[in-house]
Copies of this chain bind each other. A is one copy, B any other.
Amino acid sequence: MAAPILSKKSVCIVTGATRGLGRSIALSFSKSLPSGSLLILLSRNIGLLNEVVSSIHQRDGIRAVAAAYDQGSRDENTFDSLISHCMGKAEALPDEFEQSILINNAGTLEPIDFMRDLDNTAEMSNYFQINLVGCLALTAKFLQFFKSSVTSPRIRIIVNISSLAAISPMNSWGLYCMAKAARDMMLKVLASEEENIRTLNYAPGPLPTDMLTTASEKTKDLDLKKWFEEQIAQKTLVDCDDSTRKLMAILDKNTFENGSHVDYYDEI
């Protein structure tokens, strides 16, 4: 049986780490990963990000660095030296670590619209820039930096924060469904292309995040809107830390099929 993923000395990059699930993953991983591990936290909001880093610094033997990161940036330089910059800031070298982890958590929901109303090309272009192009560029840079070769094999783990929407259509959430389906496929292709890689599409369940508040306020489809309102009213949402625990359990069991889609509610 494969070793638990989180038992190895790791460098772990988390995007969108200031709030919600990203923050929960950063904090929870910092408590589970062995001494010497490094967390690289990325987000547009460097102020909030530094607070997360401060919390992690209270734990012995775990390093954390933060960097401002706009996944929707159209400036090539955003991605070019980001990882090496963060590694330098932490005075860390790739070979210090047994493995590298990338958690592609950053993502956006709006514009929320029925397909028949999705005709604003600038808005849609921006949506795919953040949710597909930026995610692809960061992932490529991650694979280039933490290269694996025959002489120097190196395990890379990539987690995509997916959604039920990746496999099941949700009315008036067309762009979100399309981007999530594309990102699930991204990790399927990666799993097929690369040696020494583990990739997982994890659907975290409905979380009480800002995105869910937006969903309950702005979803155009009335049935779906009502469903979100009821989840909030009846407090049946999944706590971010609970969802992170499930993700950690999946990674530690380490039996998931490469590139597969696993939901919070799935038996593992």
Which residues of A come within 8 Å of B, CB atoms? 73-74, 76, 79, 114-122, 124-125, 128-129, 132-134, 136-137, 139-141, 143-144, 166, 169-175, 177-179, 181-186, 188-194, 221, 259
CA A14 – CA B202 in complex, angstroms? 37
Q: Considering the complex, give the chain B residue whose CB is closest to the CB of A113.
A: B140
B contact residues around A183 at 8 Å (CB): 178
B contact residues around A121 at 8 Å (CB): 73-74, 76, 79, 129, 133-134, 137
CA A137 – CA B118 in complex, angstroms? 6
Copies per complex of this chain: 2
Residues of A contacting B: mostly? helix
Q: Considering the complex, give the chain B residue whose CB is closest to the CB of A127.
A: B133
Q: Considering the complex, give the chain B residue whose CB is closest to the CB of A138.
A: B119
B contact residues around A74 at 8 Å (CB): 121-122, 125
Q: A121-B133, A181-B182 are in contact. List 20 more A-B contacts (CB 8 A).
A: A115-B190, A116-B143, A116-B144, A116-B193, A118-B137, A119-B137, A124-B133, A125-B125, A125-B133, A136-B175, A169-B185, A169-B191, A169-B259, A171-B193, A173-B189, A174-B189, A177-B188, A177-B189, A181-B185, A182-B182
